[in-house]
């Protein structure tokens, strides 16, 4: 019963795709194709992310992370969060385990949010593509709007969230294996 409860979303999805395939075979096969593509993508992305997480967890001492991205880090923590997020590769779901390790290492909550925001919007390959496809003025304008926006959103979220809420997120990050 516990197993069914744990995998209920997956089982419901399989049931829906099964019914969809019975009703409309082409649509069902298309859905299965999308699912298989997504699974292949995750299989290619998740192992390298977790290898890097393991290395980050073992090689980078907590004191160093706290010094450069912790409570007293100031501007250098913000810049480092943006650079790490911008240099990252892979889809956004790869950022969350990294953010969890950052939290275990004592990174300030606003810097974690800035890192996630940078991962989602300021990736270097995307910036280079925009420069070549849409022009340098567009790419620079978007970057110059996105970076302050990411920082502003991170600090607004920190002001909105209660200290208990943030502490709970950090407690859950500590339980991550």
pLDDT tens for 20-55 read 999 999 999 999 999 899 888 888 877 877 787 777
Is the CA virtual torsion 125, 128, 129, 130 positive or negative? positive
Alpha carbon distance 144, 122 (integer Å)? 10
What rounded mean pLDDT belongs to the chain? Answer: 90
Retrieve residue 23's tokens.
């009703």
Alpha carbon distance 55, 53 (integer Å)? 5
pLDDT tens-digit profile of 3-13? 888 889 989 99
**Confidence (pTM):** 0.77
Average pLDDT over residues 153-162: 96
- Asked if the model's pLDDT at residue 136 lies above 90, the reply is yes
Query: Residue 2, Cα to own-chain centre: how many angstroms?
Result: 29
Do 98 and 56 form a contact (C-beta atoms < 8 A)?
yes
Give pLDDT, residue 80: 93
Q: Which of 168, 92, 159, 97 is nearest to 123 (CA)?
A: 92
Average pLDDT over residues 127-135: 92
Give pLDDT, residue 63: 85
- Asked if the model's pLDDT at residue 177 lies above 80, the reply is no
Do 120 and 75 form a contact (C-beta atoms < 8 A)?
no
Least confident of 53-67, 96-110, 135-149: 53-67
Query: Who has greater pLDDT, 158 or 175?
Result: 158
Give pLDDT, residue 30: 93
Query: Who has greater pLDDT, 128 or 48?
Result: 128
Average pLDDT over residues 52-70: 82
Q: Give CA separation, 132 vs 81, 119, 125, 127, in Å.
A: 26, 20, 11, 9
Alpha carbon distance 117, 176 (integer Å)? 21
Do 106 and 62 form a contact (C-beta atoms < 8 A)?
yes
Give pLDDT, residue 5: 86
Give pLDDT, residue 72: 87
């Amino acid at each position: 019963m516990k197993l069914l409860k744990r995998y209920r979303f997956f089982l419901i999805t399989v049931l829906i795709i099964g019914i969809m395939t019975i009703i409309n075979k082409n649509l069902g096969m298309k859905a299965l194709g999308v699912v298989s593509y997504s699974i292949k993508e995750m299989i290619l992305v998740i192992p390298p992310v977790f290898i890097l997480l393991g290395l980050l967890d073992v090689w980078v001492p907590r004191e160093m992370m706290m010094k450069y991205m912790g409570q007293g880090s100031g501007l250098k923590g913000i810049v480092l969060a943006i650079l790490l997020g911008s240099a990252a590769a892979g889809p956004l779901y790869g950022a969350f385990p990294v953010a969890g390790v950052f939290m275990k290492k004592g990174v300030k909550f606003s810097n974690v949010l800035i890192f996630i925001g940078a991962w989602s919007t300021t990736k270097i390959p995307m910036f280079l593509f925009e420069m070549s496809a849409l022009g340098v003025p567009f790419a620079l304008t978007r970057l110059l709007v996105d970076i302050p926006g990411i920082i502003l959103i991170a600090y607004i979220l920190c002001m909105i969230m209660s200290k208990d809420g943030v502490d709970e997120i950090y407690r859950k990050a500590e339980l991550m294996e």
